[in-house]
Amino acid sequence: MEKRRSLFTDSPLKKKLLPILLASVFALTACGGQTTGGHTSEGNAGSGSTSAQGNSTQAESPATGGVINIAYPAKAATLDPHTTTNASTKDIARQIFEPLVTLNSKYEVVPMLAESYEVSQDGLSITFPLRKGVKFHNGKEMTADDVVASMNKWLKVSTQGKANLSGAAFTAKDPGTVVLTLQKPSLLTLHILADTAPFPAIMPKEIIEESGVEAVKTFIGTGPFQLEEWKQDQYVHLKKYPDYASRTEASDGLGGKKEALVDDLYFHYVTDESTRVAGITTGEYDIAFSIPFDNAEQIENSPDVSSFVSEGGMTTFVFNKKSGLFSNVKARQAVNAALDIEEILISAYRDSRYYTLDSGLALPNQSDWHSQAGKEEYNQHNLDKAKQLLAESGYKGEEVTILVTRDYPDYYNAAVVAQQQLQAIGLNAKLDVYDWPTMQERRKDEKVWDFFVVGFAVRPTLHQLPFLDSRGGYPGWTNSPEIDKLLDEIQSAPSIAEAKPLVDQLQALVWQELPIIKLGNRVNMAAVANHVQGLQDVIGPILWNVSTTKK
Amino acid sequence: MSGYILKRLLSMLPILAVVAVVVFMIVHLTPGDPAAVMLGDEAGEKEIAELRSQLGLDLPLAVQFFHWLANVLQGDLGRSYFSDVPVTQAFWEHLGPTVSVAILAQIIAILIAIPIGIMAARRRGTMIDQAVMGVSLFGISVPSFLLGLFLILLFAVQLKWLPVAGYKPLSSGLWNHLRYLILPALALGFMQAALIARMTRSSMLDIIADNYIKTARAKGLKETMVIYKHALRNACIPILTVIGETFGGLVTGAAVVETVFNIPGIGQLIISSVERRDYAVIQGTVLLITVTYVLLNLIVDLLYGIVDPRVRLNRKER
């Protein structure tokens, strides 16, 4: 799935001008004698772990109470996580709602509202005994009926349910147990159920039934925070839910023990990135998400604030395999041979702390899926080989169009450097630049582009990367029966361990067929006030177990 | 008078018709798809097509236009695709912050502009005049968002006197309300002040040269009396025109400043709606803004009569 910051609604004009201006005025005043704390938060880009660095490690006995004000970049259309994959919905909804199973920090499936789970011998049913004593925010205890209603609606309306679990159904075995019955066994089912967007939130049966197939209008979950007020386009106010029933295992990623340590959380919608930066440095906000890399230094030099990096997924070039030059695999291989990936990433992300060079489709710490197979094809920067492959492809000097948006400066900067590198092998590359919604529209037309630059968020399985499967119809139109076959074989493998050789084969094949070129993994950057402790991130922020010493 | 108002209101209709057609065509011909935005990037073509059909976006453009027009004529501007609230409700919710900033900005602008405009006129050709005109030229030239960023830097980041950004409604207390509005109002007001000061200066220069001012001075009236009672009142019509026009601009066009200061006003509503391709909100809001702008102009025209009795007399003669 694509990087979902697409909805962070900074306009292109501001994106271009404001950070530069603010950075320069801050730089000017810094010369005027402002003291700097001198501490630098260590990014975790190199380690690949999901937890925060800098100030954000959990204190031994965390403070309780207080308020945390968050500057959040994108406005949510709904807080119902069933109906959209937008990050603006997911990041808030995950504090309110909980699923049956979730992901730990290694992206492995662990139970949440389910006490445990058991897959049948034939793989056609999964039984979930439910935890007892879990109460919804309206005070009602959760039962199998609520779970069945919620999960069946999710199967019916969510993109994940429809794409991966067609024909599946949940039934109540008894008031404390639900059973998922599947049409065919799949190694991925539990990962899909644990996915973070559109995540299968459990809600009271009455609310689900009242909503039909639409998004719910009342937001009652079982999570550590409950919705207090949602002021459209302004802020979302969450309050600690005092009767929250936590798991007892140690916290790990989205799983384990959860505790609302602060009384109130405010997500303020602050679409302008300069305003988020200024707001966190003055103490107006305690956490600010989506900080531009241009401001990293300023945040790190600020005495009361630290930077916080989390895994942001991968940045890629997606080829048009249906029409034009790159329908020929030799031409795709020529581009891959030509690229100096490091040069591209440094211009996109400014500092080697903010990206990692990695050829794997999954992150290194996604132990179930990460593979190094085919890495010899990655980051070759071999111009002679590239020129030879280009000649073999029958290229006659026609124009090659790189589709890109300036709404995300990293994509744009990557495209500019790639254009120069490709011109060096005689490829007549030009940039076609649009705002993000226009680019989304144009890439549907195979006649007008040759490759585009885009990011993909971290996903629990490889199958959820939309560009792999030919049957998905994702722009770029991968057409590889071999890749499809491997995807199917992995899905029907009896266990993750037995699927591992197939994952290696798939990874190697992707570097041969090149439906995309993976450039590297990037981080997302946030800024956190030093009085805030314990912030974590697994495909989005985790705000339980977060405390503040500011009262 | 009422006949005049009615005539002016009727003259709005062709303007609204043109605006309706142009806005509808522009938003619908711009690439992008609200259904794709709402469902998130992962949604397949089938789901997007289903939602498009649910929203009526799969109908021919002309049919969509007449559906929309028919509803508008019945007073229904439609619902936001994105947040599912009626467009009029979204507009009213966002109008409050915008009007608050606009009023404060206008007050600041008038308080700065009129005294310095008069001062420049009285001391025409001196250093003071040149300084005022220079500063006002700067005020017109500097983009308001740039000024906004400098104000944030000085008053919020360095001095920590005022908050960086945000908005608190009047119900949270007057000072709390104003605290958040001062910087954006200054950023907007400065440019307006520059325009008004220049107009005040040139209008006063015309009047000061008139014979009746000389007569007033010859009678031995105090200079302040001459300037503020006799000259200013007569110089007011062009100043009022500028104030009215700039206020219209403040209410309808403070999008960038609203974004910099994170004020949930009309400007932000339009920007967000364009980014989400929320056609119903863009169309409805632009129509309502047009109505607001035309009404503001009407009010300014009516104020002429109050300020200058000659305008009233002329109308009666007609």
Q: Is residue B69 domain-shared with residue B188, that is, in the same domain?
A: no
pLDDT bin (cut points 50, 70, 90) of residue B318 is very low
CATH of the domain at B228: 1.10.3720.10
Structural domain includes residue B111: yes
Q: Is residue B66 domain-shared with residue B94, that is, in the same domain?
A: no
Whether residue A515 is predicted with pLDDT greater than 60 in this model: the reply is yes
CB contact under 8 A, A11 and B157: no
Q: Taking Cα atoms as reference points, which of B242, B306, B206 lies closest to residue B109?
A: B242
Structural domain includes residue B10: no
Position with higher pLDDT, A262 vs B49: A262
Q: Is residue B105 domain-shared with residue B249, that is, in the same domain?
A: yes
Q: Is residue B167 domain-shared with residue B45, that is, in the same domain?
A: no
Range from A63-67, B141-145, B222-226, B292-296 that averages highest in pLDDT: A63-67
Question: Domain A313-523: which topology?
Answer: Dipeptide-binding Protein; domain 3 (3.10.105)
Is residue A17 within 8 A of residue A504, CB to CB? The reply is no
Q: Is residue B146 domain-shared with residue B231, that is, in the same domain?
A: yes
State the alpha helices, DSSP H only, in A194-340: 205-211, 273-282, 296-300, 329-338
Indicate the burial class of B4 (C-beta count within 10 angstroms; 0-12, 13-18, 19 or more): middle
CA-based nearest distance A518→chain B, Å: 19
In chain B, the percentage of residues whose pLDDT exceeds 70 is 95
Go through chain A and tell me how many residues it has.
551
DSSP 8-state assignment for residue B164: S
Q: Is residue B251 domain-shared with residue B109, that is, in the same domain?
A: yes
Reduce the DSSP state of residue A130 to 3 states and report it: strand
CB contact under 8 A, A159 and B164: no
Position with higher pLDDT, A221 vs A163: A221
pLDDT value of position A40: 26
Partners of A160 on chain B (C-beta within 8 Å) are 42
pLDDT value of position B41: 66
User: Cα separation of A146 and A142, whole Å?
Assistant: 6
Q: What are the tens digits of pLDDT across the range A344-393?
A: 999 999 899 999 999 999 999 898 899 999 999 999 999 999 999 999 99
CA-based nearest distance B101→chain A, Å: 16
Q: Is residue B201 domain-shared with residue B247, that is, in the same domain?
A: yes
Q: What is the mean pLDDT of chain A?
A: 87
User: Cα separation of A447 and B280, whole Å?
Assistant: 31
pLDDT bin (cut points 50, 70, 90) of residue A419 is very high
Partners of B163 on chain A (C-beta within 8 Å) are 282, 284
Q: Is residue B54 domain-shared with residue B163, that is, in the same domain?
A: no
Range of the domain at B209: 88-317
pLDDT bin (cut points 50, 70, 90) of residue B252 is low
- Neighbouring CB atoms inside 10 A of A254's CB total 27
Structural domain includes residue B2: no
Q: Is residue B219 domain-shared with residue B306, that is, in the same domain?
A: yes
CB contact under 8 A, A441 and B260: no
A31 and chain B in contact, CB less than 8 A? no
CB contact under 8 A, A11 and B271: yes
pLDDT bin (cut points 50, 70, 90) of residue B42 is low
Token pair 């403040």 is found at B250
Indicate the burial class of A32 (C-beta count within 10 angstroms; 0-12, 13-18, 19 or more): exposed
- How many contacts, defined by CB atoms under 8 Å, are there between A and B? 148
Q: What is the mean pLDDT of chain B?
A: 85
Structural domain includes residue B261: yes
If you average pLDDT over residues B110-118, what whole number do you get?
A: 90
Q: Which of residues 5-24 of A touch B (CB under 8 A)?
A: 6-7, 9, 11, 14, 18, 21-22
Structural domain includes residue B79: no
Domain segments of chain A as ranges: 74-263, 313-523
Position with higher pLDDT, B144 vs A243: A243
pLDDT value of position A285: 94
Q: Is residue B186 domain-shared with residue B278, that is, in the same domain?
A: yes
CB contact under 8 A, B33 and A437: yes
pLDDT value of position B236: 83
If you average pLDDT over residues A19-41, what whole number do you get?
A: 35
Q: Look up the CATH architecture of domain A74-263.
A: 3-Layer(aba) Sandwich (3.40)
Q: What are the tens digits of pLDDT across the range A311-339?
A: 999 999 999 999 999 999 999 999 999 99
User: Cα separation of A536 and A551, whole Å?
Assistant: 22
**What is each CA distance from B227 to A446, B118, B222, B304, in whole angstroms?**
71, 8, 9, 20
Handedness of CA A323, A329, A332, A338 (dihedral sign): negative
Partners of B55 on chain A (C-beta within 8 Å) are none
ipTM for the predicted complex: 0.74
Token pair 């206020």 is found at B247
pLDDT value of position B82: 81
Structural domain includes residue B270: yes
Residue from A11, A35, A454 whose CB has the most chain B CBs within 10 Å, to mutate: A11
Structural domain includes residue B99: yes
Q: What are the tens digits of pLDDT across the range A134-152?
A: 999 999 999 999 999 999 9
Position with higher pLDDT, A35 vs A383: A383
**What is each CA distance from A55 to A212, A452, A462, A466, in whole angstroms?**
45, 37, 33, 36
Q: Is residue B65 domain-shared with residue B131, that is, in the same domain?
A: no
Number of domains in chain B: 2
Q: Is residue B110 domain-shared with residue B242, that is, in the same domain?
A: yes
Structural domain includes residue B11: no
